[in-house]
Structure 1
């Protein structure tokens, strides 16, 4: 197993300790404030992110780009607060996903934040309203807001499922700092620190958050070492003007990825491809194969990003406000390792048996089978550059009828340069010869690593990358340049003394694409409109909306060079929502239906694209998602807090030009989602008596089994369907908040147990299950 590097851990520990020392040196007030409030000049562009143990947020900026009561938004909005994320150790979006209704989690083991789907569709990421190609690290985030349904009239290009908008942490008005340390199963260690307060009282405020975490998994060689640092400075130029600068840096180093390792057997002359190797009849072999990473211990994936933001807020008049945002981000992805021989043959073909015979004396056991193919060298780099500008002008209209207008103009550019190489055949043999693999047996041993002997096969040297000998993989080498600009007009009206809220948005977007020297452009008009009617004050509100969306998937036809059109969506949602117990408890019941068309398929009139005068691809498919979801959350009593959801999501292909047999079926592959999900999280705080300071928490997650890979059959082969297993998982937390010390310092300690019942199911991306895990957290606030 890979041993964690301690250098960055030690460096960050020293840094956060220094923060703590600085904090202790501060003169404590007689009655210290429990929370440093965010610096706010224009409340119409901000939401209150102060700590609240109800887990409930009553405002959102994600629904209309300005702060609005969620109760008055005509669509479903879900929010996870920083308190909730930290309490239940949900630092990755894929860990948070089960607590958003209708959201299907990806796999946190992949480390890229991808794979999450909302209402059956992929989910775009935003940070403070700016599009991002990758989710930010949770260390810099105050809350995660999810707005469901087509939202192109607000955000431009998005998927029909909805959007995720991360709200970053902001400088506080009062001095505050803290450090946190987490240790646990699989060498888990996480240390973080934060500090905020005034640099120049009344004028300049700052905030710095830093985190380093390092942990492993039961998968051989797997590790994740991540450093995240974010900093922000706010300058209150005047009572009506504020300027905020932010920067975030993230570096993540991991061992190479995993694949869906399946196994084959031969019966009655038919080669049968079964499911995951985890379920082989030979359980000892199954366990070893499922844990094995054929990429080896020396394979590396590195992700590094730098993101800068500048926000100017200015009140022009009492009823007229302006916000201007700038963003610039760069991201680098680097992978060097091997391809993955994903299938294990228990009955090898003659050719593979001949390879296996050469491994006698090298492999520990040659009677269990062999991989169905050799591995090769793999190298990939992806460089991203993202830049954007937004300007929002909002006006409140005086009069008997309460109204607000928002006018927005935004620009966004995204450049991507992806290069992929492979090393195989004679060039691979030559490179391996130089590393000491000179005999046929040694070459075969490198190309077919022994899963029963990972301490040897996992540490075989990797050929260095050399563009002169490595071949370019054309299908995965390209450059993308995307440039979008658009304008939005939103108007909101409150009627009947606030009982009826009406809102509508119209937007026009233009897009220019340059895909590997092929250029094209598109434009799109989108709208949404909705209404909220307060049936019983804020306790029961009926709402409904209709909306359109578009999601550019720039692709040029290889035959005609024609740019295929935007994926377009149309949908509606109706439901009930409300706030109870003095706004401490909320619920949202939603019924939705949305369709996305213009999805690309093969052209049935030109199979295989053989006629170069006809398009090879056409926009010939449509996917529909419909369902019901219920979200509840907040304080049940003064001591008991609850967050729960349940969702039924029915996603179907309703049109497919090239494969009509798919009509009526559910999407598979990375587009597959569990039809039914539900979860809850509860926490009980003891506020009086001998147990005062103690808290107990419990979580449960459920996701129904769903199809990942469809089955196929020929005269000589049979591939059985591959399912993602049903997931049932309990979690628990016990914590204790000690009494405040005389110097104002506060100590909190907790223990989290994930997968309490030790359920063992392969993960969504085919990683070996972690089983029951423990984490112990110590928090100090100053």
Structure 2
């Protein structure tokens, strides 16, 4: 009977005490120390081996849990991982976890990922070579984060330029942009110099953010352009497992696949990995353009203790495409109709190709020698390999019998080229923290070495000109028509003219032309630089003092018997001051100089060109304010600047016996105002905006008519806005909207002074729709909504660079 009674009692408890077996739902929120929600944080329930990722409001939810005690681990990059023990019971089902900032003072080069998953970035290494809050850097630094890149479904670097103030395209080519009115060609990856030999724009699957250091940056990064320097920051391994796969398709038969895998490789999390993959096959609105792109980018970080960090990156990037030299138009006179040919119009042949391979390896080491001194070392090896065949214009129209141009036919040349380029970059520096009375010092003492080589063996196989009766080719001479073969009453071209009225894109075999094989000259230059920088803190003031001694050596006639070293040097100062009256606002002022060496072939032969000539020296004065709003979710930076570049060489043409004489008489100046806004007005409302007003012009020239002439592809006004709103209403949860507008004012081309060829202003509108459910994200982007015809840049009448008409992209992503 006792056994029966016990059994009945247990049954009764089960029936009449459901609370004892009720399933509960645990919900909660992850915040930082300021009670701000942390979206994207990982919270793991140990006992159930269940992982949740917090939403936009930092919240999470674990349903169907039995009452009891549970252990959680909470982590997010940039914060210390926290272990939490929680007793789940009726009336106690809500958990708040506060994460503390992780101390990253060891880093001299970025090795751990950025803590924000937002449009706003807080810290950077590129402005000072130390991890410094942007508001304490006395110089404007614009940026585009991977979140903006993802929301705009951008795939190549050229797709994100519209988000940078004072930045416009010069052409379609790699890093060929205008910054603050000056043409830029320098590029950095994680603060290390890369060659800019490639034509194709780099891909973005392994990019954390793109930064633009505004104005001269020579005090830190050797010879740089006066308008600014682009620095690409790559994604780094995380100490928690994250995986994502994304597929997209859209206009111009675009198919795209990307993957991102990261996490620890051992239980102690001393060895971390990341693997970024991307593949795209796409055509273009341009005839015979588009191509195939592949990126494989593994990265490994080794952190054996709290004093040492080692990072290794390998990037393999291959592009199969054609070299797009832009849109030609009829005639080359003032007032020429830009619409005389469609924007899809290109010159070339079906069998043209441009195969490019970029491989680079980066190794970085940071070692904390003492509590006050850290040693940093980085090395990058970069290989560029090109295999090219192109039919392109000779930059002139076809010639008739009388030597007059035929405005509907382009003179043509062919190039078959194979070439390689190697680049080495080593940077070594110490960071020392010292105090002198009330002053705190962060002193950077460093050395840089940059080596660039075009090796022996690079060669081209070219055809151009007009056929001569003696079997040779040459430029047509209207005074000696008898020397040339005639065809239909006009001189016969070596490479058939391209008819702008009836274009022919059929396969053309270059063996049918008279070709000349030319070995490209081997070249070599190297840079040695030593620098000293002191960041001084005193109360509400931050001062920056920097000085760099630069030695640039160009080896003229490299590998030949008459090899000659042409040396140039410069002492480059940098001074800045930041005043922070209260936490949300900083005011700053700076003076810095830039440096670019003159071409060795020119300064290496004073008997021909004159001289000696000083390097190009630029200087910049800049003042501005950096502010934060909405609990520091949104940043706004405004800057006023003046940049002046001196020692621009110009040909004198005063002595007929010395037609190549040069003089340092050129000067260009740029003045302007820039505004950048990045971040979130609300946790579910993100925005990035930029605006610039500037005037970049020639202020000194041997030709008086050039003074006051505006620089090419440098509009007086330019701006953009992109915003994303995610609904928080339960009925619309997961739905988001994106919208943007971009304006670019009128611009000169390189040939405007000659033939009045000016590019018109344009305004573009873009839109996007997002939907997130569980671990899936659906995206649909519509660019150039109103199908505005526009040109993003241009050289002259046969090289204009039109922007894409209306186009769309639809993507689906899965995170696990």
Query: Which TM-score applies when normalising by structure 2?
Result: 0.79
Change (3 A) 1:259 1:50: closer
Q: Which runs of 5 or more residues in structure 1 are unaligned?
A: 1-26, 265-271, 281-285, 356-368, 433-437, 713-718, 740-745
Change (3 A) 1:203 1:245: same
Bigger drift between 329-338 and 90-99 goes to 90-99
Partner secondary structure for residue 139 of structure 1: coil
Contact 1:652 1:666 in 2 (8 A): yes
Bigger drift between 596-605 and 725-734 goes to 596-605
- CA shift, 1:440, in A, is 6.2
Give distance in 1, aligned partners of 2:231 and 2:287.
Answer: 35
Change (3 A) 1:727 1:555: farther
Partner secondary structure for residue 104 of structure 1: strand
Aligned pairs, number = 691
Give distance in 2, aligned partners of 1:431 and 1:780.
Answer: 62
Give distance in 2, aligned partners of 1:262 and 1:667.
Answer: 22
Change (3 A) 1:239 1:617: same
Partner secondary structure for residue 523 of structure 2: strand
Change (3 A) 1:482 1:239: same
Partner secondary structure for residue 221 of structure 1: coil
Change (3 A) 1:339 1:598: same
**Equivalent position of 2:57 in the other structure:** none
Give distance in 1, aligned partners of 2:758 and 2:359.
Answer: 38
Match for residue 262 of structure 2 among 196, 208, 224? 196
Give distance in 1, aligned partners of 2:463 and 2:316.
Answer: 33
Give distance in 1, aligned partners of 2:578 and 2:181.
Answer: 22
Contact 2:721 2:740 in 1 (8 A): yes
Q: Which runs of 5 or more residues in structure 2 are unaligned?
A: 1-46, 55-74, 79-101, 474-484, 559-563, 795-799
Change (3 A) 1:774 1:326: same
The 5 A counterparts of 1:305-316 are 305-316=358-369
**Equivalent position of 1:731 in the other structure:** 766
Match for residue 641 of structure 1 among 675, 678, 686? 686
Change (3 A) 1:427 1:321: farther
- CA shift, 1:56, in A, is 0.7
Give distance in 2, aligned partners of 1:72 and 1:666.
Answer: 33
- CA shift, 1:276, in A, is 5.9
Contact 2:118 2:147 in 1 (8 A): no
**Equivalent position of 1:702 in the other structure:** 743
Match for residue 253 of structure 1 among 291, 312, 320? 320
Pair 1:273-2:342 in alignment: no
Match for residue 439 of structure 2 among 384, 398, 401? 401
Partner secondary structure for residue 86 of structure 1: helix
- CA shift, 1:699, in A, is 1.1
Q: Deviations along 1:312-347, whole A, 9 cap, x unmatched?
A: 1111111211111111111022321223266779xx
Pair 1:423-2:463 in alignment: yes
Q: Deviations along 1:570-614, whole A, 9 cap, x unmatched?
A: 11101111112221111111110111111111024335xx338xx
The 5 A counterparts of 1:451-466 are 457-464=504-511
- CA shift, 1:569, in A, is 1.0
- CA shift, 1:446, in A, is 6.9
**Equivalent position of 1:361 in the other structure:** none
Q: Deviations along 1:165-209, whole A, 9 cap, x unmatched?
A: 111111111121111111001111111112111222322111111
The 5 A counterparts of 1:361-510 are 371-398=408-435, 400-416=438-454, 419-424=459-464, 425-426=466-467, 447-450=496-499, 457-464=504-511, 470-471=515-516, 477-496=520-539, 499-510=540-551
User: Which has the greater radius of gyration?
Assistant: 2
Give distance in 2, aligned partners of 1:678 and 1:775.
Answer: 23
Pair 1:336-2:389 in alignment: yes
Give distance in 2, aligned partners of 1:755 and 1:710.
Answer: 28
Give distance in 1, aligned partners of 2:279 and 2:633.
Answer: 34
Contact 1:218 1:768 in 2 (8 A): no
Give distance in 2, aligned partners of 1:492 and 1:151.
Answer: 16
Give distance in 2, aligned partners of 1:734 and 1:494.
Answer: 46
Change (3 A) 1:568 1:30: same
Partner secondary structure for residue 705 of structure 2: helix
**Equivalent position of 1:77 in the other structure:** 141
Higher helix share: 1
**Equivalent position of 1:22 in the other structure:** none
Query: Which TM-score applies when normalising by structure 1?
Result: 0.82
Give distance in 2, aligned partners of 1:428 and 1:212.
Answer: 51
Pair 1:599-2:634 in alignment: no
Change (3 A) 1:428 1:692: farther
- CA shift, 1:646, in A, is 1.0
RCO higher in structure (CA 8 A, sep ≥6) = 1
Give distance in 2, aligned partners of 1:402 and 1:582.
Answer: 28
Contact 1:47 1:59 in 2 (8 A): no
- CA shift, 1:734, in A, is 0.7
**Equivalent position of 1:6 in the other structure:** none
**Equivalent position of 1:177 in the other structure:** 243
Give distance in 1, aligned partners of 2:228 and 2:517.
Answer: 36
Contact 1:731 1:755 in 2 (8 A): yes
Give distance in 2, aligned partners of 1:244 and 1:639.
Answer: 34
The 5 A counterparts of 1:61-140 are 61-107=125-171, 110-134=172-196, 136-140=202-206
Pair 1:755-2:784 in alignment: yes
- CA shift, 1:560, in A, is 2.0
Give distance in 2, aligned partners of 1:212 and 1:116.
Answer: 29
- CA shift, 1:404, in A, is 1.0
Give distance in 1, aligned partners of 2:290 and 2:202.
Answer: 19
Q: Deviations along 1:96-155, whole A, 9 cap, x unmatched?
A: 222111112244xx3534234344341521111101123743122111111212221111
Give distance in 1, aligned partners of 2:707 and 2:169.
Answer: 25
Match for residue 574 of structure 2 among 499, 504, 528? 528
- CA shift, 1:428, in A, is 13
Contact 2:566 2:600 in 1 (8 A): no
Change (3 A) 1:444 1:533: closer
- CA shift, 1:74, in A, is 0.9
